[in-house]
Amino acid sequence: MSHGQDPERFCNEVSERFRLLFRSCNISYTDYIRTTELRPRCAVEHFWTVLQSKGLIYKGIYEGWYSTQDESFLTLSKVGDAIDSSGKEIKISLESGHKVEWMEEDNYMFRLSQFQPQLLEWFEGNPRSVQPERFHRIVLQWLQEDLPDLSVSRQRKRLWWGIPVPEDPDQTVYVWLDALDNYLTVVGYPDTHSQWWSSACHVVGKDILKFHAIYWPAFLLAADLPLPQTIYVHSHWTVGGKKMSKSLGNVVDPLDRAQRFTTDGMRYFLLRQGVPDTDCDYDDDKVVKLLNAELTDSLGGLLNRCTATSLNPTQMYPYFCTDFFPSRHAESLEGRATVEDYHMLDCVRALPALVELHYESMYVYKALEAISRCVRQTNGFVQRHAPWKLDRANSRDQKWLNTILHVSLECLRIYGTLLQPIVPEISGKLLSRLGVKQDKMSWAEVNYIFR
């Protein structure tokens, strides 16, 4: 190992860091699986046997350019020239930038080329199979090119860390056939997977798109299993416009930043600024500015205003008065609501459905953008009517003050409910401060209701 450690010990340490990250950052999961467990090994062996029994895996001699870091063979069109740190000319993968070497060895091959027409037909007929659209176009482009059979094993003397090929202990199952099978393992393959597998979706980084959108669907077709509903692809975070790298010293430690900006703060920033289509640049100053603007000043400021004892001495939800805020503008002679106020309410009423759409489509930044826009509108509503200037001794002013606070607090309740998947701690505190009971914090309660 390049780290000078036993592979199992090294992987255990990496795995534990991920577990710590998930615990620290309020990331929950229904299953946490590693390929070193017994259950994935059983699934991989069964899957391999199925493909081999159909004549889709055969023994052959593979030769070509190979990237050890990517664990992948490359065609000539994917290889380029470069100069290493010592000034020596080398060959590299044009996709990853990693060094490649010419290699010849006996391997097991999967008849990937046999499935190229079927893959192309499926992706062309399912334009939402890969999202965002940009990555769907990339997959279609790959399928227009030559798609040679795929080497699905490595000689065990060179790669002993992995699952041995069934009935051939001299070969190790290719890491991407091994790892991808784990999607099936967690839903009970080969015994009880049918209940869940037909609804499978994947969320992957753009650098492993080919494995998920070409190899994996081909394996599934070969095994007569349904293809994923959608493959959601995300781009990368860069620093100073460059990919994070230990050699460059620009790696951002999420645990360190979560301690500095709070877990909710980091979750909000990454999901608010992360755009799936393109790489996004990370900067500490950007984090501070965004959190101050949207969470502290806009959302927090609105909450503090509406729950301040100077405006809301009883700390209760005041009554809503339809005389001052009728269902339609200019419906009442006493109405004080403006056209802008009705526009704000229309936006808030439409917000839950819009946020749900963006959450389900994995465009989380668009959902947060929509919420932030409504928060600004609600702040504008309060600022426009300046309830602190109203005369509480005047019964009509008091009713209008109560109505302003009621509308604002209801808006805050909706924002807090919609933000729970993003900033669970902040949302919980906000909703608790509004007096919302635990059983009323669900999505079903998010409809805008005057009460």
What is the per-residue pLDDT across 363-399, written as a single tens digit (0 to 9) for each? 999 999 999 999 999 999 999 999 999 998 999 999 9
Provide the pLDDT for residue 332: 59
pTM, two decimal places: 0.88
Identify whether the C-beta of residue 164 lies closer than 8 Å to the C-beta of residue 174: no
Ranges of beta strands (E only) in 70-184 are: 72-74, 79-83, 89-93, 99-110, 130-131, 150-151, 153-155, 164-165, 168-173
For residues 80 and 99, what is the distance between their CA atoms, to the nearest angstrom?
10
Percentage of the chain lying above the pLDDT 70 cut: 97
Q: pLDDT digits over 74-108, tens only?
A: 778 889 999 888 888 999 988 778 899 888 889 99
424 has a pLDDT exceeding 90: yes
CA-to-CA distance for 257 and 291, rounded, in angstroms?
Answer: 13
The per-residue pLDDT for 299 is 98
Give the model's pLDDT for residue 125: 96
Residue 4, φ and ψ in degrees, nearest 5:
70, 25
Mean pLDDT of the chain: 91
Nearest to 375 by CA among 338, 416, 430: 416
Share above pLDDT 90 across residues of the chain, in percent, rounded to a whole number = 71
pLDDT in tens, 107-158: 999 999 999 999 999 999 999 999 999 999 999 999 999 898 999 998 898 8
Contacts of 344 (CB under 8 A, 6+ apart): 374, 377, 378, 380, 381
Give Cβ neighbours of residue 156 (< 8 Å, ≥ 6 apart). Answer: 164, 169, 170, 171, 172
Confidence category of residue 450, pLDDT binned at 50, 70, 90: low
Q: 34-234 has which CATH code?
A: 3.40.50.620
- Kindly compute the dihedral angle of the four CA atoms of residues 290, 296, 299, 305, in this order, to the nearest 10 degrees: -150
Give the pLDDT band of residue 69 (cuts 50, 70, 90).
confident
Residue tagged 């998010």 (tokens): 446
Nearest C-alpha neighbor of 291 from the set 205, 219, 368:
368
Lowest mean pLDDT among 6-10, 130-134, 233-237, 395-399: 6-10
- Going from the C-alpha of 402 to that of each of 92, 160, 304, 322, 410, the distances in angstroms are 68, 72, 16, 11, 12
Right CATH for 254-445 from 1.10.730.10, 3.10.20.740, 3.40.250.10, 3.40.47.10: 1.10.730.10
> Is the pLDDT reported for residue 212 higher than 60?
yes
Q: What's the CA gap between 324 and 405, in Å, rounded?
A: 13
Closest to 430 (Cα-Cα) out of 407, 414, 450: 414
Give 321-347 pLDDT, tens digit per residue: 888 888 776 665 567 889 999 999 999
Give residue 329's pLDDT. Answer: 65
Q: Is 6 a residue whose pLDDT tops 90?
A: no
- Give the CA radius of gyration of the chain: 28
CA distance 344 to 326: 14
Tokens matching residue 74: 């490359």
190-198: average pLDDT: 90
Give the per-residue pLDDT at 129.
96
Phi, psi of 84 (to 5 degrees): -80, -175
Residue 1 has a pLDDT of 44
Highest mean pLDDT among 22-26, 122-126, 312-316: 122-126
Rounded CA gap, 326 and 340, in Å? 14
At residue 449, the pLDDT reads 63
Nearest-angstrom CA–CA distance, 71 and 378 = 53
Furthest C-alpha separation in the chain: 92
Summarize pLDDT for 267-293 with one digit per residue, the tens: 999 999 999 999 999 999 999 999 999
Total count of residues recorded for the chain: 451
Tokens coding 22:
């998930």
Residue with tokens 């939402």: 128
448 pLDDT tier (thresholds 50, 70, 90): low
Who has greater pLDDT, 52 or 104? 52
